[in-house]
Chain A
């Protein structure tokens, strides 16, 4: 192991925080633009940084195919919850910081031409915690999937249920699982993708219930916080405890898939899970030809690809001090 000479290393705050990010795994200083280009995976060691819902959707679905629905859902402070700050203030601060109304985005899109119902969580919004809005969006995504017989894809990134919504947040476990049971009974496929972190009540409801469970490498996935778990046995936890590979080893994750392969893997799976996929159009008595879709795709192909009228907005920047896994696990110590 190389000798660490911290005082000789450039201090992290010597770098402008909006330009550079330090990899928590290999300590490499990464230029943010370069990190964004590599889908926020460290080019040196392969560490998967957390992804915003926006970037995740761009990564997973066919260009221009995502249509957001239910964008206007917003939580209400039903309990009058005040900790060190009133809950409405926390919500407002999170909305201001992220530009999102809550911790999930849902809609429809195509993945390699397969139309899917998609719901993507964003950890940056109050730790991706599940309150009424996340629960509602997951449920509606499942209900739409059921109604239109679309495969359901949910990407989780969450510390669990949102404490500020009390047992109403806990009830979201039942609400989402109920919708998934209907999907299951109807034979509509559901692929769950667990990213870092997927813990607590989100893991113990829809995230773990995929027909296929996929995890990104080394993501924190678990029910209870590591400190609680360690406390109950008063000894060291097994190495890699509550990481994707641990879950894989114990049979709760089908595949650990690197980010760059995720979209391809989903497309490959959908070819097996979407019923009638290989059947000729005549089989179900309906033409598969979709004139509007055809014209749209034709128009897309003939319209020259003009430069965008304005520079794309800068991507949100990674803080230089991305929290090391141990600390992140620690502060989530009371889940479950």
Chain B
């Protein structure tokens, strides 16, 4: 509804596959645009005050993750967001917006402050992926991400998450577990980068646009899947063209959501948040015999087997179809 209020253009009709691919790729490029407004740019436009906090109290301060306090339309909030740079120098300093474990641990500190001092959390997600280097692994990037996700699922204060640019996999969801998830029109969200997906499933990074389309990573698609609740239209040619207007539109939606969420009793809020994530994933459920018979079955089972040799069919008919330790095409991200 807010989308329409903000003059969001109507969804186009069916398009040819090549056009769809080109349009998707255009969005990926817009999401990665160097002049796209970053977390601190958006906050500078929408907040009356920003006070950054620094450091994870264990290792250091991560410039790729900005955290602190801000006042938005009278709401005192804790903000958390990845921060890319505006130029090469800043990008080097901020590691192209790819946080190390200490970035996620700083974010957890900020969440903890929010909970203890009764402030809602607003997160801004714009990350190609968490930093993948050896030092990141040594300091436990997976652990930091998992803990951050876990903390958000139980944090006793409202959380509004905004996908502003690239929603890159685990590095994104680590700060994107919200009561409500908003996306800018040209933001993208995916389980793996389109280049990575193409390299694995198409064995060619040239197919990145094809992979982007297959993963349905646009904000509209994510809304259709229920991963994103609201899409906010970007002004003109995209958010990079008008930072102030982009921030103004986002602020309207964020403030409306904060007003709504702050009225919900905390226990209800947390139950709803649990259910929001509990419901994700499409599967069917059929009555099926267990996969595997116990290795040494009891007498009754053996008698039943004798009477009905098909009983364990689903589990044990693998004879003659050798299992492979290594599937021909890995499916994982």
Contact A166 B146 (CB under 8 A): no
Contact B322 A334 (CB under 8 A): no
Contact A167 B227 (CB under 8 A): yes
B288's partner among A71, A185, A229 (CB-CB below 8 A) is A71
A17's partner among B129, B195, B278, B322 (CB-CB below 8 A) is B322
Interface residues of A in 176-194 (CB under 8 A from B): 177-182, 184-185
Which residues of chain A come closer than 8 Å to B133, judged between CB atoms?
224, 229, 232-233
Contacts A52-B323, A90-B331, A252-B143 given; indicate if A174 touches B177 (C-beta within 8 A).
yes
Contacts A101-B288, A164-B331, A237-B134 given; indicate if A79 touches B322 (C-beta within 8 A).
no
Q: Which of A201-209, A254-262, A264-272, A281-289 contacts B (4 or more CB under 8 A)?
A: A201-209
Q: Number of A interface residues at 8 Å Cβ cutoff, please give it.
A: 128
Contact B280 A171 (CB under 8 A): yes
A54's partner among B141, B152, B222, B292 (CB-CB below 8 A) is B292
Cα(A110)–Cα(B306), bound, Å: 27
CB distance from A215 to the nearest CB of B (A): 13
Contacts A167-B189, A177-B146, A250-B138 given; indicate if A58 touches B332 (C-beta within 8 A).
no
A319 at the interface (CB under 8 A from B): yes
Which residues of chain B come closer than 8 Å to A74, judged between CB atoms?
283-286
B191's partner among A128, A201, A206, A306 (CB-CB below 8 A) is A201
Contacts A170-B170, A252-B143 given; indicate if A71 touches B289 (C-beta within 8 A).
yes
Which residues of chain A come closer than 8 Å to B316, judged between CB atoms?
99, 313
**Interface bits B272-296 vs A (CB < 8 Å: 1, else 0):** 0110011011111111111110111
CB distance from A54 to the nearest CB of B (A): 5
Cα(A166)–Cα(B169), bound, Å: 10
Which residues of chain B come closer than 8 Å to A317, judged between CB atoms?
322-323
- Which of B281, B284, B324 counts the most A-chain CB atoms under 10 A from its CB? B281
**Interface bits B294-306 vs A (CB < 8 Å: 1, else 0):** 1111110010011
A57 at the interface (CB under 8 A from B): yes
Contact B200 A331 (CB under 8 A): yes
Cα(A96)–Cα(B154), bound, Å: 40
Contact A78 B225 (CB under 8 A): yes
B333 at the interface (CB under 8 A from A): yes
CB distance from A89 to the nearest CB of B (A): 12
Contact B137 A334 (CB under 8 A): no
Contact B214 A83 (CB under 8 A): yes
A81 at the interface (CB under 8 A from B): yes
Contact B288 A72 (CB under 8 A): yes
CB distance from B7 to the nearest CB of A (A): 27
Which residues of chain B come closer than 8 Å to A331, judged between CB atoms?
200, 330
**Interface bits A312-336 vs B (CB < 8 Å: 1, else 0):** 1110111100110000100111111
CB distance from B162 to the nearest CB of A (A): 16
Contacts A124-B327, A161-B332, A166-B217 given; indicate if A68 touches B292 (C-beta within 8 A).
yes
Contact A129 B331 (CB under 8 A): yes
Contact B281 A175 (CB under 8 A): yes
Contacts A71-B290, A177-B150 given; indicate if A224 touches B137 (C-beta within 8 A).
yes
Cα(A159)–Cα(B325), bound, Å: 12
A212 at the interface (CB under 8 A from B): no
Cα(A129)–Cα(B331), bound, Å: 6
10 contacts between A and B (CB under 8 A): A159-B330, A161-B333, A171-B173, A171-B280, A173-B173, A175-B277, A178-B274, A224-B136, A224-B141, A334-B200
Binding site for A on B (CB under 8 A): 129-134, 136-143, 145-147, 149-154, 167, 169-173, 177, 189-193, 195-197, 199-202, 211, 214-217, 222, 225, 227, 273-274, 277-278, 280-292, 294-299, 302, 305-306, 309, 314-319, 321-327, 329-333
Given contact pairs A130-B332, A333-B196, a sample of 19 additional A-B residue pairs in the complex whose CB atoms are under 8 Å apart: A64-B296, A72-B287, A76-B282, A124-B325, A126-B331, A131-B281, A132-B280, A159-B333, A161-B169, A168-B225, A204-B146, A208-B140, A224-B132, A232-B132, A250-B138, A250-B139, A323-B325, A332-B200, A336-B129
